[in-house]
Amino acid sequence: MEKLRYERPLIKRLDGNMPNKFGMRSDYTPKTHIEGVAVKDLIKKYGSPLFVISERQIRENIRKARKAFETRYPRVQFAWSYKTNYLDAVCRTFHQEGSWAEVVSGFEYDKALHNGVEGSKIIFNGPDKSSADLEKAINNNSLIHIDHLDELYKIQELSKKQNKTVRVAIRVNMDTGIYPMWDRFGFNYENGQAWTAINKIMQSETLELVGLHTHIGTFMLSPNAYATAAYKLAELARNIRLKYNHEINYIDMGGGFASHNTLKGAYLPGTDISPSINEFAEAITTALINSDFPQNKLPLLILETGRALIDDTAFLLGSVITNKRLSDGRRSTILDIGVNILFTSFWYDHKITPAQPFTQYTEDTVLYGPLCMNIDVVRENINLPLLNNGEHLVVHNVGAYNMTQWMQFITLRPRVVMIDMEHKVHVIRDNETLKSLLDLEHVPDHLTKFDL
Amino acid sequence: MKINKHIAVSDSGFVFNPVTGESFTANPMGIEIIEMLKKEQTVEEIHAAVLDKYHTDNTTVEKDVAEFFELLKNFSLIDRHETTEN
Amino acid sequence: MKRPKIRIGVTGLNAIDNPGPGVPVIRGLLEAKSFDAHIIGLAYESLEPGIYMHDLVNKTYQIPYPSAGTDQLIDRLEYIQEKEHLDVIIPNFDAELYSFIKLSPRLKKMGIHTFLPTMEQFDERLKVNLPEFGEKYGIHVPKSEVIYQVSDHKKHMEKLGWPVVVKGKYYDAGIAYNADQLTGYFNKISAKWGLPIILQEFAHGTEYNVTGLGDGHGNTISAVPMRKQYITDKGKAWGGIAITDEKLLNLTRKFIKETKWRGAFELELMKNKKGQFYLLEINPRIPAWVYLAVGVGQNIPEAYVNLAMGKEVDAFETFESGKMFVRYSWDMIVNLSDFEKISTLGEL
């Protein structure tokens, strides 16, 4: 006789306060396959943990986002936010879908060039651009978004030296009624800094003011804040028109649209409260269309959406190392996925589902990572079915920031695979080995030998 | 290892201790083990029965059953005096 | 003429010392003259008293908490609908309204009618948005400020003055007389209901409440004001009297007309020494004391269901004055097997 699936014995005390999950149907469904490929097979072939990215989902997300904006507004351009996920295969999928590159460092800039993005289609943001970075960007005719006055002067100097006209925009920060206000980046709207910077640029012979940029925050749940921001940028554009009879080419609304993750401390899950891309599109395009721009001269609308386009395209697969009961009676499960590779577990209560069928019996569980560090907590409290050692789990919505903010800490970073449109699996980043790290290290001669 | 004999167990997984007034729910594996305890089966017999019926290994069963007994003790479902004598 | 049978799902069966509105709503529905109500209870916890009131509730199902998300809620409601063929659901908790408003088009496709405020109305009346709300509709509201860090209160205290009311986004409030107490409430409330925290000017005076029903086109279907006579330590009315203050009724009609309020609501107001009313809070649902409205001749639950079913409903013009309610508690004897069923099967 075939043996039955084992589940550990469980008994829970019932009390009136306890939400009762017994008898409820479909609290979870197992995530056994990703894009038609079995999780079990992926782990067998590529190891655990493993990042898995769906090419189909990336293409679907960017097409949906383009449609949301393009049906509401005549001129739209997306630029892929490199910092959100700069794996080449990911960037190139976005570039194939027509996205430009948006970078915030010399390293990211070089990566965009390496990916074959034309210099004029690279938007260079961020507070830290070295003289060398800027020279390169000026030579390539890239769009440089100025963050502070020192940078403005530096660009002016370089442009004179190179005798080149530089296409610039300024980053504007402003009060859009949301908290926290990101006033550390760019020039403030309300106190007139932005207007001062604009005047300096307009009076410069070598700088051409082509756009206005803002990025009001991250994981924004309020489309209205974007409408406010768009109105304020349109107001600046109007003042430029009145004073200089100069029309800017584009408005860059930055990124920050929330994904479907659930922020820690939120009462309702992200899937319920995060606005859809259509709601953001409606708010932004309505504000621009209703503003003072002449109808035949509406500026190009640039969007640097990162998280909302990539988060749900990626999964992190892992396995149970062991189950333990803590001294206070709580159940804990230790996974081979830790905060070293799942950085976003500091911000989110990630959705985590088993990768194999299970019963409706669940237990409140603390999920720990494998690191020998107390901070390594993946979920402080999650109601999970009973998992056995070696069984697999899937962490959902991990596409944004994890594959750029992960740490090589205590252990090596795992593989990343992409499943293509034909369900074929490609390794797009190898797992690190001891060699990949030792290649960077040098031991002084006198330290090469020791006796123990 | 003796389970408190007043404990009532129903098929739905509802476990009631009329002495303390506490109620519990258990999953089918939990109920199976409680039923075996009521029949006064030994720990070794319980291990063997589980291994025979389910797809698992000895270490896992020993660990999980021991932990389950701890829970039963904490919930006063196993008579403490009798367990210390065992 | 035979009254049509309407199958109605009702939440908020927690008729405890801080009661949910479910049980009084059901009493109103069972007294309806225009239909014959068949009641299905929807409960979150296995000790909600309404579950065990078999003369009021035909059957109860457990439903997942709002924090589990609408996907799980709709799964559960689909299962319930297969068995119960509900015509209407009346959600009675603040915390679940967002989910039900969001799901209402899908519920409609399943044949379940609701009569809820629009998402815009729901958002606009949120505590954090109350000052804008007051300004937009010309209704007096106490000064309030939203804070994300406890230290931020310092900027606002000159304007708000001590004592100050510390409120959570959805629930919970405390009156702080100094910074220490404020910090205490901030930590306690934000731990449970998240950020931001609202600081509201403490309004001195007498508290009044109004419950009512708007048809969504600006018309007042029902409005019954009440003055609390005895307040429990949880701030709930244990006794209250229906009053006929024209000022209050006018304010309520104005609220409905300006916002085109759709569905039931409760207004919490404070009358100061000068006789001015301040709007403290808008609860976008039926209050637990709704049976007083039924008792004075305005059966709000009945009208609610008829509006949900798309029927023409005449506005209630008058109500009997000189009536009050006194709440009491009642110990039921329940078979353990009932508790077992709801606990293990999620249905009873």
Would you say residue A26 has pLDDT above 60? no
CA distance C208 to chain A (A): 30
Candidate from A56-70, A155-169, A318-332, C17-31 with smallest mean pLDDT: A318-332
Per the structure, the complete domain to which residue C77 belongs is given by 5-115+331-344
pLDDT < 50 stretches in chain C: none
Mutation target to probe the C interface, by most C beta carbons within 10 A, among A272, A380, A382 is: A272
Q: How far apart are CA C196 and CA C217, in angstroms?
A: 32
pLDDT band at A24 (very low <50, low <70, confident <90, very high): very low
In a domain, C135, yes or no: no
Q: Please check whether residues C191 and C208 belong to one and the same domain.
A: no
Q: Are C39 and C86 in contact (CB under 8 A)?
A: no
Cβ-Cβ contacts under 8 Å, B25 against chain C: 343-344
pLDDT at A184: 86
- How many domains is chain C built from? 3
Whether C103 maps to a domain, the answer reads: yes
CATH number, domain of C259, equals: 3.30.470.20
How far does the CA of residue B47 sit from the closest CA of chain A (Å)? Answer: 12
Question: Residue A64: its pLDDT value, please?
Answer: 97
Task: Kindly tell me if the per-residue pLDDT of B82 is higher than 70.
Answer: no
Angle between the N-to-C axes of helices B58-74 and B28-38, in degrees from 0 to 180, rounded to the nearest 10 = 80
Q: How far is CA B62 from CA A314, A359, B42, in A?
A: 38, 21, 13
Put simply, the answer to whether A272 touches C99 (Cβ < 8 Å) is yes
pLDDT band of B13, cuts 50, 70, 90: confident
Per-residue pLDDT for A362 more than 90? no
What is the pLDDT at residue C264? Answer: 96
CA distance C212 to C267: 9
How big, in percent rounded to 5, are the helix, strand and coil portions of chain A? Answer: 35, 25, 45
Using a CB-CB cut-off of 8 Å, the residues of chain C touching B14 are 340, 343-344
Residues C189 and C267 in one domain: no
Chains that touch A (3 or more CB pairs under 8 A): B, C
Mean pLDDT of A429-440: 96
Residue-level pLDDT at A18: 45
For the domain that residue C73 is a member of, what is the CATH number? 3.40.50.20
Closest partner residue to A4 (CB to CB) among B53, B61, B67 is: B53
Q: Where are the domains of chain A?
A: 33-53+314-437, 54-311
Highest-confidence segment of A312-316, B34-38, C205-209: A312-316
Indicate if the pLDDT at residue A398 is higher than 70. Answer: yes
Q: Given this chain, do its domains A33-53+314-437 and A54-311 carry the same CATH topology?
A: no
Percent of chain A at pLDDT exceeding 70: 97
Where would I find the H helices in A71-167? 88-96, 106-114, 131-139, 149-162
Which residues of B are less than 8 Å from C62 in CB distance? none
Closest alpha carbon to A19 in C72, C171, C18, C78: C72
List subunits contacting chain C, requiring 3 or more Cβ pairs under 8 Å: A, B
pLDDT tens-digit series, residues C21-54: 999 999 999 999 999 999 999 998 888 999 999 9
Taking alpha carbons only, the member of A209, A238, A223, A114 closest to residue A177 is A223
Cα–Cα distance for residue pair A346/A402, rounded to 1 Å: 11
Residue holding tokens 């089918």? B28
The structural architecture, per CATH, of the domain A33-53+314-437 is Beta Barrel (2.40)
Q: Do A11 and B60 touch (CB under 8 A)?
A: no
Sign of CA dihedral A112, A117, A123, A129: positive
Is there a single domain that holds both residue C284 and residue C312?
Answer: yes
On chain C, the residues whose CB falls within 8 A of the CB of B12 are 340-341, 344-345
Which of A13, A361, A388 is facing B27, going by the closest CB pair?
A: A361
- C308 and C225 in a common domain: yes
Q: In this structure, is residue C70 part of a structural domain? A: yes
**pLDDT per residue as tens digits for the range A249-303:** 999 999 999 999 988 877 788 888 899 999 999 999 999 999 988 888 899 999 9
Mutation target for A interface from C17, C65, C70: give the one with most A CBs within 10 A.
C70
Chain pair A-C, CB pairs under 8 angstroms: 71
CB contact under 8 A, C75 and A271: no
Give the sheet arrangement for strand C36-43, strand by strand: C59-62, C36-43, C5-10, C88-90
How much is the pLDDT for A14? Answer: 79
- Tokens standing for residue A390: 């070696």
Amino acid B2: pLDDT: 79
Q: Does residue A1 surpass a pLDDT of 80?
A: no
> Which residue, chain included where needed, has tokens 């931020």?
C152
Measured CB to CB, residues of chain C less than 8 Å from chain B are 336, 339-341, 343-345
Which residue of A lies nearest to C169 if distances are taken between CA atoms? Answer: A267
Cα–Cα dist A132/A147, whole Å: 17
- In chain C, what residues touch A397 (CB-CB under 8 Å)? none
Band of pLDDT at residue A346, cut at 50, 70 and 90:
very high
**Residue C125 contacts residue C279 (beta carbons within 8 Å):** no
CATH number at C157 reads 3.30.1490
CA distances from A425 to A35, A44, A192, A412, A417 (A): 10, 13, 53, 22, 6
Contact C336, C343 (CB under 8 A): no
Question: Which pLDDT value is given to residue A21?
Answer: 40
Q: Same domain, yes or no, for C12 and C29?
A: yes
Distance from CA of B82 to the nearest CA of A (A): 21
Please name the member of B12, B16, B25 whose beta carbon is closest to the beta carbon of C336.
Answer: B16
C-alpha A253/C-alpha A230 separation (Å) is 7
The residues, any chain, with a CB within 8 Å of residue A203's CB and separated by 6 or more, are none
Residues C231 and C235: their CA atoms lie apart, in Å, by 5
* Whole-number pLDDT of residue A20: 43
CB atoms within 10 A of CB C105: 9
Are the beta carbons of C343 and B23 separated by less than 8 Å? yes
Mean of all residue pLDDT scores within chain A: 92
* Chain B residues inside the 8 Å CB shell of A6: 29, 50, 54-56, 60-61
* Structural class in CATH, domain A54-311: alpha beta
User: What is the pLDDT, as a whole number, of residue A429?
Assistant: 98
Condensed to tens digits (0 to 9), the pLDDT of residues A131-168 reads 999 999 999 999 999 999 999 999 999 999 989 999 99
Whether pLDDT at A179 is above 90: no
* B78: closest CA of chain C, how far (Å): 21
Give the pLDDT of residue B75.
86
Same domain, C191 and C238: no
C174 with C165: CB under 8 angstroms? Answer: yes
